[in-house]
Structure 1
Amino acid sequence: MAAITGASSISFHSRLHQNLALSRANGLKPVSLSGYGRSSLSFGLQQRSARLRISCAAKPETVDKVCQIVRKQLALPDDSAVSGESKFSALGADSLDTVEIVMGLEEEFGISVEEESAQSIATVQDAADLIEKLIEKNKA
C-alpha cells in the first residue's frame, strides 16, 4: 500500500484544485470519487451540457409607450427624462402610483397583469418586458 507524504499531499491537492477550477471554467464538472476499498482510483471529468439563457428586451416602441404612460400617470412634464432604466420610485411613484401605472398599462395594451407580476415591476424596462411577455402569451 502506498503512502503519501505531507509535501506530495499538498502538491497533489493543489494540482487537483487547480485542475478542477480550470475544468469548471471550460464547462466540465467534477465527478464524485469512491475507492470502495481499492488501492488505486481512477477518475475523469464529464462535459457539462451547455445552457443558453436568452433574455429578450422589449421592443423600443413598447418601452416608449410605457414611458409615455408613466409620465401621464405621474403628471411628469413631456420633456422629463424617463427611460427603460428609470425606477418608478426614483420618479416619485409610491405604491398607489405604481398600481395606477399598471392599470394604465393594462388598459393601453389590453392585458391583465397578475398581482404577483405587478409587484415585481420596479423599472420601465421591467414593465415593458412583462407587457411583451403577456402579449406573446395571449397570442399562443
Structure 2
Amino acid sequence: MNSELAKSTREDIEEKVQKIVLGHISKDVEKFNNSSKLLEHGADSLDAVEIIMAAEEEFGIEIPDEDAQKMETVGQIVEYIIKKTNN
C-alpha cells in the first residue's frame, strides 16, 4: 500500500474520487454529491468501469469486479477505498 495514501484524510479521498467521477460524467454537476447514484448523473456501465479503473490507478489498489459492481455512489467508492487502505 502507498504510504502517502495511508496518510490521506477522508476529505482527500473524497475529493480525488469526486474529480475522477466528474471527469467521466457531465450532467447535473451542481447537484452532485456523495450519495448521488452515478447512473442518475449520466454514467453508463462503461463509465462505471472507467471510474473504477481510474480509482484503482489513483489509489494504487485493486478492486475486484464483484466489489466494483456493488458501487453505485461516490460515497460507496470512498468507503471501499478507506477500508482497503486500512487493511
Inter-partner Cα distance in structure 1 for 2:24 and 2:11: 20
Q: Which residue of 1 aligns with 2:5?
A: none
TM-score when normalising by structure 1: 0.51
Pick 1 or 2: higher relative contact order, CA cutoff 8 A, min separation 6.
Answer: 2
Inter-partner Cα distance in structure 2 for 1:118 and 1:94: 14
Selected match of 1:133 from 79, 83, 86? 83
Q: Which residue of 2 aligns with 1:106?
A: 56
Q: CA deviation at 1:134?
A: 1.1
SS state of the match for residue 90, structure 1? helix
Deviation per residue, 1:72-126 (Å, 9 max, x gap): 122x38x923221121001111111100000000000110001111011010000
Q: Decide which structure has greater strand share.
A: 1
Q: Which residue of 1 aligns with 2:65?
A: 115
TM-score when normalising by structure 2: 0.80
Q: CA deviation at 1:135?
A: 1.2
Inter-partner Cα distance in structure 1 for 2:39 and 2:56: 20
Listed as ranges, the matches of 1:33-112 within 5 Å are 59-74=10-25, 76=26, 80-81=29-30, 82-112=32-62
Q: How many residues align?
A: 78
Q: Decide which structure has greater helix share.
A: 2
Q: For structure 1, which runs of at least 5 residues remain unmatched after alignment? A: 1-57
> Which structure 1 residue ranges, 4+ long, deviate > 3 Å from structure 2?
none
Q: CA deviation at 1:61?
A: 2.1
RMSD over equivalenced CA pairs, Å: 1.9
Inter-partner Cα distance in structure 2 for 1:112 and 1:73: 20
Inter-partner Cα distance in structure 2 for 1:72 and 1:135: 23
